[in-house]
């Protein structure tokens, strides 16, 4: 943000107001074109419509070689948006890819948002689950631009959902082994089919309070589509629930008969994806993650100097004018340098 006011007094008033309200901008419909631009580009590469690296196309994300290409590509995408890609290897040639958007406060609660990047052998996997992957990626890109977050966000691409939620099970176990404080886990699977054009979504086995959270986010954005609640267990959210995490799945109208007819088929291609619907659901997820990332728990608010304590003005003249009344916001744990993409490519395979 650029200071438009001239004079120290005006600048001080401006900064004070910004810090007290601390309200992040709403992701309005104007951001949908840039969501779609990113999602089209990445989905095309993930489904063999375009090269995933010069001279290489992949027709599924099932074989070891193709999954390796997909991981390297996704790691580079995380790097491109300013995050540091990390890998969780388990088994043989099986890997989850993830990145942590830190709020800058050690020991902060985390919110997990993930989707599986693998597909079955016969399918390019555009809808299942390329759409979830690009929803997570576009959300990560928007959240990385925000300041003053009070929770960490963990964005993750799971391996081997199609083999029985194997990647997410390993990721859930890792979080448990690390004793990681996790507020909630959100996984998205199949989000690109909307035959009846009502833009509805389903929330799968939502934890207590999750439906209200999603409806509040939709209301904030002026979205009026149906938000259904189902008891579907067949995706990655189940892995986390089993280990005691609060979890929820997000999907198209899978149980309400408006879901892709091409699941696990060769026809699950880019051409079948409803990009405006995908962008709409992604925008809702950006708002949900923004709410969670800024929802300061009372215990945090009480601790002096924490990210939630920025209502106290810093005395005039102390420190720079930029963000003078707020502690340093959470920063992305990586570099935004475009050249990082090439470096990740080199280091990842």
Q: Which residues bind Zn ion (CB under 5 A)?
A: 128-129, 189
Q: Is 166 helix (H, G, I), strand (E, B) or coil?
A: helix
- 132 vs 334, beta carbon nearer Zn ion: 132
Min dist. Cβ of residue 236 to Zn ion (A): 8
- 98 vs 254, beta carbon nearer Zn ion: 254
Q: Is 58 helix (H, G, I), strand (E, B) or coil?
A: coil
Distance between CA atoms of residues 341 and 332, nearest Å: 15
Min dist. Cβ of residue 263 to Zn ion (A): 8
For residue 131, the 8-state DSSP code is I
Min dist. Cβ of residue 190 to Zn ion (A): 6
- 129 vs 202, beta carbon nearer Zn ion: 129
Distance between CA atoms of residues 52 and 46, nearest Å: 7
Distance between CA atoms of residues 124 and 259, nearest Å: 17
- 115 vs 326, beta carbon nearer Zn ion: 115
How do strand 201-204 and strand 110-116 relate by DSSP bridges?
unpaired
Distance between CA atoms of residues 59 and 84, nearest Å: 27
Min dist. Cβ of residue 134 to Zn ion (A): 14
Distance between CA atoms of residues 239 and 10, nearest Å: 52
**Tokens 């985390």 belong to residue:** 110
Min dist. Cβ of residue 110 to Zn ion (A): 23
- 109 vs 129, beta carbon nearer Zn ion: 129
For residue 332, the 8-state DSSP code is B
For residue 127, the 8-state DSSP code is I
- 277 vs 348, beta carbon nearer Zn ion: 277
H or E element that contains 171: helix 166-177
Phi and psi, residue 250, nearest 5°: -120, 135
Identify whether 129 is preceded by a cis peptide bond (ω within 30 of 0).
Answer: yes
- 129 vs 268, beta carbon nearer Zn ion: 129
Min dist. Cβ of residue 96 to Zn ion (A): 15
Which residues share a beta bridge with 188? 250
Min dist. Cβ of residue 50 to Zn ion (A): 22
Min dist. Cβ of residue 88 to Zn ion (A): 19
Check if the beta carbon of residue 223 is closer than 8 Å to that of residue 280: yes
- 98 vs 348, beta carbon nearer Zn ion: 98
- 32 vs 129, beta carbon nearer Zn ion: 129
Classify residue 182 as exposed, middle or buried by CB count within 10 Å of its CB (0-12, 13-18, 19+). Answer: buried
Min dist. Cβ of residue 189 to Zn ion (A): 4
The contacts of residue 221 (CB under 8 Å, 6+ apart) are 26, 27, 28, 283, 284, 287
């Amino acid at each position: 943000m650029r200071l438009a006011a001239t004079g120290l007094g005006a600048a001080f008033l401006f900064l004070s107001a910004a810090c007290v309200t601390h309200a992040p901008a709403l992701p309005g419909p104007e951001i949908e074109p840039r969501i779609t631009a990113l999602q089209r580009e990445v989905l095309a590469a993930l489904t063999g419509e375009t090269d995933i690296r010069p001279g290489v196309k992949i027709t599924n994300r099932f074989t070891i070689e193709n999954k390796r290409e997909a991981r390297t590509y996704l790691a580079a995408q995380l790097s491109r948006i300013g995050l540091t890609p990390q890998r969780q290897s388990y088994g043989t040639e099986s890997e989850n890819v993830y990145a942590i958007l830190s709020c800058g406060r050690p020991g902060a609660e985390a919110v997990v948002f993930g989707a599986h990047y693998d597909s079955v052998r016969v399918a390019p996997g555009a809808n299942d689950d390329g759409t979830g992957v690009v929803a997570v990626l576009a959300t990560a890109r928007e959240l990385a631009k925000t300041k003053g977050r009070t929770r960490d966000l963990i964005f993750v691409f799971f391996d081997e959902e199609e083999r029985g939620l194997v990647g997410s099970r390993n990721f859930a176990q890792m979080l448990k082994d690390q004793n990681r404080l996790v507020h909630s886990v959100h996984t998205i699977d199949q989000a690109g089919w909307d035959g009846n054009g009502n833009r509805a979504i389903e929330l799968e086995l939502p934890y207590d309070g999750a439906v209200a959270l999603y409806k509040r986010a939709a209301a904030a954005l002026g979205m009026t589509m149906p938000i259904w609640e189902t008891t579907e267990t067949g995706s990655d959210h189940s892995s986390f629930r089993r280990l005691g995490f609060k979890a929820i799945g997000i999907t198209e109208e899978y149980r309400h008969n408006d879901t892709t007819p091409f699941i696990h088929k060769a026809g699950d291609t880019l051409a079948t994806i409803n990009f405006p619907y995908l962008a709409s659901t992604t925008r809702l997820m950006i708002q949900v993650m923004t709410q969670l990332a800024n929802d300061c728990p009372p215990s945090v608010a009480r601790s002096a100097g924490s990210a939630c304590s920025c209502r106290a003005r810093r005395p005039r003249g102390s420190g720079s004018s930029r963000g003078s009344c707020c502690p340093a916001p959470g920063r992305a744990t990586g570099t935004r340098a475009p050249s990082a993409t090439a470096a990740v490519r080199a280091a990842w395979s």
